[in-house]
Amino acid sequence: MSIEIMTRVWKQSKQGGSQLLLLLAIADNANDGGFAWPGQEYLADKIRMSAKSIPRLTKKLQEAGELFIHNRAEQGKVTQYIITVGMDWSQLEETLRRYLKFDKAQLAFTKRGYTKKSGVDIAMRGGVDIAMSTEPSLTVNEPSFLENPQVNGKDGFDRADQAERGFLNALAGQVATITKTDIDTAGPSTRESLKQLTLALSKKPNIEVKLPAYERWWYANDWRGKQGQPPTAFHIGDTWGQFEADKVAPPPSSGPTLTDAEKARLTELTAQFSQPK
């Protein structure tokens, strides 16, 4: 995972709902050039949707100018992506040259449709699809429950400005993904728990980087017999302190250093105990 690309998506993407979750899932696999090649089944599992929905959602991201798609289905190979959120031409060109091995002709053809505002606005051929426009996307994004949260009849974010609201929406989507919660069908109590957790986590520094780390940490531990099960909002709140403590704990190698005499004695004792009786 590239922290740079993940942070760029969190801060600059204009997407919401499933499209934002998908972009974050791709970013979680991207390198610093924004290049990634996760499979459709993997992406579908990450955002809790069917694999058939992935091409439709990636197409919307492509049309919004936030994703470059290198479709290699005809070659029987996995689709490759470049996250273009916040990219200028020089960055995109470098990624195309380095990872997709574009030659001069392909780069020149791509650059002809490039605009300073938002990238490439032409449809590529030869297995590469690009569709970026200088005009705002007309794609209707799926709403997040934090955009108009009707939890207990109250709008919890009526004072938040647009940037703050977008950040909270993205954070809520990431929490929903980790807890494997379908926001559309979740009950009021579950939605309220997610909302309160989102607000609490939003106050923590570098939360966009810490959440994926927390997910890996959760599955690496057996919390009260729940190993392999996704955490609930309560579990995240209950174990977050331990997660942060584990992250800042000194590594095992930072303990006291043995003297040469102590090392020799330890070697001697080890040899004694390893001898067969």
Tell me: do 151 and 125 sit in the same domain: no
Separation between Cα atoms, residue 179 and residue 176, nearest integer Å: 5
Three-state SS for the chain is CCHHHHHHHHHHCCCCHHHHHHHHHHHCCCCCCCEECCCHHHHHHHHCCCCCHHHHHHHHHHHCCCEEEECCHHHCCCCEEEECCCCCHHHHHHHHHHHCCCCHHHHHHHHHCEECCCEECCCCCCCEECCCCCCCCCCCCCCCCCCCCCECCECCCCCCCHHHHHHHHHHHHHHHHHHCCCCCCCCHHHHHHHHHHHHHHHCCCCHHHHHHHHHHHHHCCCCCCCCCCCCCHHHHHHHHHHHHHHHHCCCHHHCCCCCHHHHHHHHHHHHHHHCCC
- What is the signed CA dihedral for 97, 100, 104, 109, rounded to 10 degrees? -110
Q: Would residue 116 count as lying in a domain?
A: yes
Residues 6+ apart with CB under 8 A from 77: none
Q: What is the pLDDT of residue 164?
A: 61
**pLDDT tens across the length of the chain (277 residues):** 678 888 889 888 888 888 899 999 999 889 888 999 888 888 988 888 888 889 999 989 988 889 988 887 666 678 889 999 988 888 888 888 888 888 887 777 667 655 433 434 333 333 344 333 333 332 223 334 444 443 333 344 444 444 566 677 777 878 888 888 877 677 777 888 888 888 888 888 888 778 888 888 888 876 655 567 888 888 888 888 888 887 644 334 444 455 666 666 656 655 554 455 4
Same-domain status, 148 and 122: no
In a domain, 277, yes or no: no
Other Cβ atoms less than 10 A from the Cβ of 207: the count is 18
- Single residue among 61, 96, 129 that ends a domain in this structure: 129
Whether residue 204 sits in one domain with residue 124: no
The CA distances from residue 178 to 58, 139, 215, 246, in Å, are 21, 26, 7, 19
The C-alpha atoms of residue 27 and residue 37 are separated, in whole angstroms, by 10
Closest C-alpha among 238, 241, 219, 240 to residue 230: 219
Spatial distance between the Cα atoms of 59 and 23, rounded to a whole number of angstroms: 11
Place of tokens 């994004």: 141
Instruction: Please give the pLDDT value at position 154.
Output: 39
The distance of Cα 255 from the centroid of its chain, to the nearest Å, equals 35
CATH code of the domain in which 7 resides: 1.10.10.10
Domain enclosing residue 218, as ranges? 143-268
Q: What is the reported pLDDT for 224?
A: 56
Residue 138 lies in a domain: no
Two tokens at 169? 């929406």
Clarify whether residues 119 and 164 are in a common domain: no
Question: Residue 66's Cα: distance from chain center in Å?
Answer: 14
Name the domain count of the chain. Answer: 2
Q: Are residues 46 and 164 in the same domain?
A: no
pLDDT score for 81? 92
**Global confidence as pTM:** 0.46
Same domain, 123 and 147: no
